[in-house]
Amino acid sequence: MLQHNASARRGRYDESLRDILNIQAADESRVWLSTWDGLNAGPTPLWDLPDLAARLGVGSISLKDEGHRSPLGSFKALGAPIALIRLIRRLWPEQDFVPAKLTAGHYKAQLQDFTVISATDGNHGRALAAAARSIGCRCVIVLHRHVNDERRLAIEHLGGQIVQIDGNYDESVKEAARQAEEHGWHVVSDTSYEGYETIPRDVMQGYGTIAAETIEQGGEGPYTHVFIQGGVGGLAAGVVSYLAERFGERRPLCVIVEPGEADCLFQSALRGQAAHATGSVDSIMAGLACGETSPLAWRFLAILADCFMTIPDDAAIEAMRILAVGAERDVPIVAGESGAAGLAGLIQASSSAEDRAALGLNERSNVLLLNTEGATAPALYEQLAGFRADEVLKAQRRRLSA
């Protein structure tokens, strides 16, 4: 299902938005992240998929592969560390903590009694736990009933203390806020709510790294369309704001993709304000199974996202399999269930003459996709994709070395 955003604007990046998210702060975050050993060196791959482009009737498809971002396997490794660094520097301005020394554990003795907490669908909590371990502070993660056990164990392996609740993601956000208030801890969340925007802003600023690298790798302004995963909206806001500031009226047409059962951004577009999902908020796309739009992210998407669409779970699974198999000229790619959502949205739109016309998709379209995660739950990935992740990666390496 496709919904146009009548309020979307092109042209000069709005000054009120630049005061919140801007290229200067995003590039500063990128420099700080470059010193953290929790990330793999260099930019993530930007794959060209010519056979898939021909199959879908577009000029080109480029896929930015965040599964290679770090051992954590997702783009979330860009947001949580930056938010934690900036929080600590704000709390102790007199200490003048150096970001590179923070992530190297130089101040562990001073921060060992400092505790952060967050709710998560898996990837954000894992990234926060990893950053907290490097910095030397304590980390508590609230998990809801739908979080896969593999993701829970990965967080525990990184030293995160788990609090499990019998509710959904939105209820885990409320529980994290309650526990922080009770114990004097600090919430480091990737979603905003009333009275809580500074840290989600910092998280979103970290995601600007994805846009910056893509521009450097793909050339100046080659993309006509970008399909971005929804969730609470933070990733989309972080990426499209960077593109809007950089390219202005030449920015790509932005399409937000989310599960049909977790359609909070789609509903926000219908209502013209941050809204709740109308479905069960239960989806195989765990990282996108969010019921409440981040009000801060919506400020950006309300005028920078051109269209919103929902997809069924089966579409994401099929997209995982397509990427895993590759093609004669397309490298095989490990994409988790949320990571494949952008491609699933493109496939769905490409199969409808009405949607193609509405989006201006044709043989001259240059489409950017984001693979937001690799196999962050390996057993689940194998079950859904029909391949082991290591098999797909071996095939990828063979293709690159041929």
Q: Which residues are catalytic?
A: 76, 121
Residues in contact with 168: Cβ distance below 8 Å, sequence separation at least 6, in sequence order: 144, 145, 146, 281, 282, 289, 291
Strand order in the sheet with 307-311: 2-4, 307-311, 253-259, 225-229, 366-371, 60-65, 46-48
C-alpha neighbours within 13 Å on the C-beta side of residue 258: 33
Residues in contact with 110: Cβ distance below 8 Å, sequence separation at least 6, in sequence order: 95
H/E stretch holding 187 reads strand 186-187
The token pair that represents 246 in the structure block? 């950089």
In the chain, the largest separation of any two C-alpha atoms, in whole Å, equals 61
Q: Kindly write down the DSSP assignment for every residue of 16-76, as one continuous string.
A: HHHTTS-HHHHHHHHHHHTT-TTS-SSPPPEEE-HHHHHHHT-SEEEEEEGGGSSTT-BGG
Q: Which long-range contacts (CB under 8 A, 24 or more apart) does 153-162 make?
A: 154/122, 154/126, 154/376, 155/120, 155/122, 155/125, 155/126, 155/129, 158/126, 158/129, 158/130, 158/133, 159/129, 159/132, 159/133, 160/125, 160/126, 160/128, 160/129, 160/132
Closest CA to 140 of 108, 175, 106, 97: 175
Angle between helix axes 295-304 and 234-247 (nearest 10 degrees) is 40
The token pair that represents 57 in the structure block? 């009737």
Task: Classify strands 253-259 and 307-311 as parallel, antiparallel or unpaired.
Answer: parallel
